Chains A and B, each alone.
Chain A
Amino acid sequence: MIAYLLRSLVQAALVMLAVAFIAFSMFRFVGDPIASIVGQDATLKDRQELSRALGLDDPMPVQFARFLANAAQGDLGLSYRQGRPVAALLGERLPATIELALLSALLALVVGLTLGVYTAIRRNGLLANVIMSASLVGVSLPTFLIGIGLIYIFSVELRWLPSFGRGDVVRLGWWTTGLLTESGRKSLVMPVVTLAFFQLTLIMRLVRSEMLEVMRTEYVRFARARGIPDRVIHFRHALRNTMVPVVTITGLQLGSVIAFAIVTETVFNWPGLGALFVQSVQVVDVPVMAAYLMFVGLVFVVVNLLTDLVYLMLDPRLRSASAAPAR
């Protein structure tokens, strides 16, 4: 078990190193940093001086090592565009994205699981079939369309919910939250639903098919043959076994919710990291793009580690994997 965790950690570190290298490479291959900063009409001398000052003349490994050391200390460089530390920019935007993503993930997980279990248990029920058909729309409809549709209905027609921004936010230390004000909560509804929709339908369909699979196993049949009530079979025997395969994909999905809130943030003008990324791509603000890339990598790595931990909790076979099972 310790070995398993250790392996996960080493893997995580390697992945982060690779992501950091790609981020670092962006500085060399995407755009021209000097041109981005000084513009077209700077003299050659200005350019050379700047290049030296930024350390761009050093050999590549040295530059990469410096990049890593700085990043580890939270120094992600200066934004070409705004001239401010990238870390500060990210820090300002982070709460908006995290709040949006965590609420979406929670919604997708809770509703997706519930509906997945329901549609599996009531496989032939009318409601279950309606839900399944509706979910087909969910997986095939692009996120921005759902967002625009919601805006049209709830902002334009009904005028119930704001169509953009976070509303009023409350400051808690360096964190900002929209959950403590009415307008903040109202502003969250549509972006959260939009972002959750795809993951929700995906999780639901996955849970359903895994659950149906588990319901066909011998141990479920044996539990029924022992007279265990259906309720116990569904929620004790089947659900936990369903979760083992579901956890990986769900983990990755939730990771991508946090990482790729880009479309939703753009549609709702949400002042989060995704919107920041889109802006910096438009102006080729490489330090911000590179930092965002590393942020996404970090999210996936952390989610993956958590997934591994959940695995350990769910499946006793992994916990004693080091002690050879008696056969």
Chain B
Amino acid sequence: MSEPVLSVRDLRVEFVTRRGILKAIDGVSFDIAKGEVLGVVGESGAGKSVTGSAVIGLIDPPGRIAGGEVRLGGQRIDNLSPEAMRRVRGKRIGMIFQDPLTSLNPLYRVGEQLVETIQTHTNLSNAGARKRAIELLAEVGIPAPERRIDGYPHEFSGGMRQRVVIALALCAEPELIIADEPTTALDVSVQAQIISLLKRLGREHGTAIMLVTHDMGVIAETADRVAVMYSGRIAEIGPVRQVVQTPLHPYAKGLMGAIPTLVQSSDDRLVQIPGSMPRLSAIPPGCPFHPRCPHAWDRCSRDRPDPIQHAEHRVACHLYDANDPTAKAHMIHTHAPLEEGVAS
């Protein structure tokens, strides 16, 4: 297999606050291959956005990357100088934020923002950059781009603005796109359009995509693989079909078990598992999920589970530790109550 576009190893991100050091990301590892879409899911505060920011080098003080490696096309980028990292941003990694209404500078025409970005990363002349900007707008499906390029952001609808944002992220044909909840702020009717646009662009350009979302429907339809995050760690990661249909981690089971009810519910969000994720300042020792886990036994509150390869999944849960003879017993014993707990 060829080298992955993005390779993250044991990433740690901390925030230094008055109340001490908060470990927002604590040992996260994953790869994204060329043309692959990695879906990232998890409760609010699980660390999805912080992971994306760390990859693109936008963790601001008091936050800092406290350990681990980020490699882009084999090259380490987490230790680059600020100036070198700036040249990676936008050129090799594109980013799409959640809210297109606030992502664009309201005082400049979309064309000015596109041309500025293109000229930052290429040697194109003004005319050349403008031509490229029009091509990009056409590519992301904005009608009459020769005219719209001179419009201001407030003259575009939310969906159209998100298309502009995507065009901006694509300016320099990046190898990797990080899309952080790109449809959350949009009308339901345009969400699907934006997702299929992203999917199409990723396929056509062979771009690797890290897609953060709360929408399991989008994950199931778009992602090749999915990572389930909990308390700054990856609980489970694997091919989308396996993780969605046969999740292994009790938290992932809860998350996916909630999907059928999603279909009927008007709101396409995840149904919460009983209890809530611990605050960063109060992450329990051992497995951070154990206070909510119906399978938990004494080991879970003591040992931190390392990711274990199990079939095509990688799962951070003692239940799947082949070396622990007691693990199997806990699984069988408490299987049924979990399903009930989730449904209620």
Contacts and interface: CB of A to CB of B under 8 A. Distances in A.
Interface of A: 217-219, 221-230, 232, 236-237, 240-241, 244, 314-317, 320, 325-327
Contacts of A222: 95, 97, 103-104, 165, 168
Given A224-B89, A225-B95, A236-B108, 7 more contacts: A218-B102, A226-B95, A227-B121, A227-B172, A230-B86, A232-B120, A315-B107
18 contacts: A218-B102, A219-B102, A219-B105, A219-B106, A222-B165, A224-B58, A226-B90, A226-B117, A226-B171, A227-B117, A227-B120, A232-B116, A232-B120, A236-B108, A240-B107, A244-B107, A320-B155, A326-B155
A181 to B, nearest CB: 44
B105 A223 contact: yes
Closest 7 CB pairs of A and B: A227-B90, A226-B90, A225-B95, A227-B89, A218-B102, A316-B152, A219-B105
Contacts, number: 87
A226 B107 contact: no
Nearest to B104: A219
A293 to B, nearest CB: 38
Candidate in A219, A317, A325 with the most chain B CB atoms within 10 angstroms: A219
Contacts of B107: 240-241, 244, 314-316
Interface of B: 56, 58, 86-91, 94-95, 97, 99, 102-109, 116-117, 120-121, 152, 154-158, 165, 168-169, 171-172
A160 to B, nearest CB: 45
A4 to B, nearest CB: 15
Contacts of B91: 227
Nearest to B152: A316
Contact of A317 (B88, B152, B158, B171): B152
A69 B35 CA distance: 78
Given A219-B105, A225-B56, A226-B171, A317 B95 contact: no
Contacts of B157: 326-327
Nearest to B56: A225
Contacts of A326: 155-157
A223 B104 CA distance: 8
A227 B113 CA distance: 12
A186 to B, nearest CB: 42
A247 to B, nearest CB: 13
A238 to B, nearest CB: 9
A227 B117 CA distance: 8
